[in-house]
Structure formats: C-alpha cells, structure tokens
C-alpha cells in the first residue's frame, strides 16, 4: 500500500457542521457554529487533522487532547482557568497541551488548520 502525503488544499475531506449550543453546558457566550473538514484520521481514530471554522462565541475548552493550531483567518482568545489569557490572530500558530482547562473565545469568525492527538478515546470533532 502506498502512503500519500496529505495536501490540505486539495485533499478530499469529510465535512461536519454543528451548533455548539447543542452540547450540554458547553457554551458560555454567543451561539457559535462550527464547520469541520477532516482531511486525515488514523486507523485507531486517535490522531486527526483538518480545517475548522467557527463563528464568534465563548465555550469551555475541550480537554484531554494535544492540539496544534494554525490560524488561517480570524482572531481568538484562549483563557486559562486562572484567568490568564492569550490572543492569536491570522498567521499565528500555537499548541494547546493535554490538561489545558479554560475557555476558547472566538472574537471574529476564525478558520484554522489543526492536528489533534487524543489519548483518552474522546469524540474529537
């Protein structure tokens, strides 16, 4: 079997849409809607990569995963449970390590490329 490099610009992807408010007790502010295009998923489903877009809002961050992000467009703030905050804009890259607790706040509609490694068997998207 030949293994091919995944080109995010031309890769076939599986798209999903969700209104985050449909997940119980997740949203803190606004009514964020997410679109996820999954470009890669490992055979054990514990490693995924794709492109994600969110409308503005604030929610409890998903935990128990390592996530690398590269913002293609937009402006977000990550707020740790101790209240410290970091802002990221178009062109920024960052890593959210397993164990981060706090909030995602999308200040402007944002699109990112992401890579997630899940060690706990959670629903990744």
Where along the chain do its domains lie?
A: 16-118
Q: What is the mean pLDDT of the chain?
A: 92
CATH number of 16-118: 2.60.120.10
* Strand partners for 96: 67
Model-wide pTM > 0.85: yes
What is the structure's pLDDT at 13?
79
pLDDT in tens, 66-122: 999 999 999 999 999 999 999 999 999 999 999 999 999 999 999 999 999 987 665
Say which residue, 82 or 10, is predicted with more confidence: 82
HSE-CB at 29 with a 13 A cutoff on CA atoms is 8
For residue 86, give both structure tokens.
């970091």
């Amino acid at each position: 079997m030949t293994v091919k490099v995944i080109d995010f610009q031309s890769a076939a992807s599986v798209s999903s849409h969700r209104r985050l408010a449909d997940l119980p007790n997740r949203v803190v502010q606004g009514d964020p809607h997410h679109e996820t295009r999954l470009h890669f998923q490992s055979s054990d489903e514990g490693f995924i990569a794709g492109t994600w877009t969110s409308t503005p809002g604030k929610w409890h961050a998903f935990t128990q995963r390592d996530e690398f992000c590269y913002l293609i467009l937009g402006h977000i703030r990550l707020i740790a449970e101790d209240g410290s905050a970091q802002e990221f804009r178009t062109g920024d890259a960052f890593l959210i390590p397993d164990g981060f607790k706090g909030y995602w706040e999308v200040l402007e509609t944002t699109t990112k490329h992401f890579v997630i490694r899940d060690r706990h068997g959670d629903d990744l998207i």
